[in-house]
Structure formats: structure tokens, C-alpha cells
Amino acid sequence: MSKETAVQESTQTQTDAAPKPVTADASRQLHEIRDLLFGEQLRATHQRAEELEYRLQQQLQDMASAFSSALKQLQDDTQQRLAEMSQRLEALDEKHTQQAKNLAQDITTLSGQVADNHQELADQLAATSNDLKNNKTDRKMLANLLSSMANNLSVDEQI
């Protein structure tokens, strides 16, 4: 049995050792056959994938550049409009301030005129009142004078 066992072990070692080189060789050959059959297609597919990836990267860079320039333009436009609005606001503020000053001057002028008119009317009222008192006094004097003349006439007629 030991001889048989030794023979079997050596046969197994040879069969184990023999198929490995054959398997590696077969695998290499299979790989070469695949490369011959599908290699060109695989390389073309890889090349197309690389080209697509390159174009995608280019498009992404172009889009990023376009987005950046659009954003820059938008910022510039916004700043310009903000500056214009600030100038308009300052102009309106200045105009409002000037109009407020003019209105205050007008109010002061009108107040002075109203005060002058009031004083003038008060003076006229006082003068008219005095005239009426004087006229009334003159009428009383005239009435007394006429009354006295009537008495004198009546006394003269009686004499």
C-alpha cells in the first residue's frame, strides 16, 4: 500500500501541477482571443467614454464660466441701479428739504401779513369807532342846538 499510495500521491501532484500551467495558459489564451474579438470595441468604448467625460468637463467649465459672468453682470447691474436709486433718493431728499424751507418762509411771510392786516383792521375799527362816537356827539350837539333854537323861538313868540 505504501507503494500505491506513493504512486497516487505523485500522480496527484503531477495532475495538480500540470493543470495549473495549462489553466494559466488557457486563461491567457482566452484573454488573447477576447482581446482579438472584442478588444477593438472595448478600446473604442473606452475612448468614447473618455471623450464624453472630457466634453462633459468642458461643458461644465463653460457653464460655470457663463454662470460666473452672468452673476457678475447681475451684480454690476444691481450695484448700478442701487447707485441710481441712491442718487434719486438724495435728490428727492434735497428737494423735500428745500420745499420745507420754502414753506416755512411762506408761513413766516403769511403770518407777518396776517398780523399786519389784523393790526390795520384793528386800527381802522378803532378809527371808525371814534368817528362814530364823534359823529354821535356832533348829532347830540346839533340836537341840543336845534332844541335850544326852538325854545328861543318859542320864547320869542311869546314875548
What are the cell numbers at 159? 314875548
Better-scored residue on pLDDT, 95 or 35: 95
Q: Is the pLDDT of residue 61 over 70?
A: yes
What are the cell numbers at 21? 500551467
Q: Report how far residue 78's alpha carbon sits from residue 72's, in angstroms, rounded to the nearest whole number.
A: 10
Q: Is the pLDDT of residue 136 over 80?
A: no
Q: How many CB atoms lie within 10 A of CB 57?
A: 10
Q: Report how far residue 70's alpha carbon sits from residue 68's, in angstroms, rounded to the nearest whole number.
A: 5
pLDDT value for 22: 65
> Which stretches of 61-124 are assigned E, i.e. beta strand?
none
Q: What is the pLDDT of residues 36-48, one digit of tens each?
A: 777 788 888 999 9
Helices (H) and strands (E) in the chain, counts: 2, 0
SS3 of 148, please? helix
Q: What are phi and psi of 18, to 5 degrees?
A: -70, -45
Please name the residues in contact with 146: beta carbons below 8 A apart, sequence gap of 6 or more: none
Q: What is the pLDDT of residues 65-124, one digit of tens each?
A: 999 999 999 999 999 999 999 999 999 999 999 999 999 999 999 999 999 999 998 999
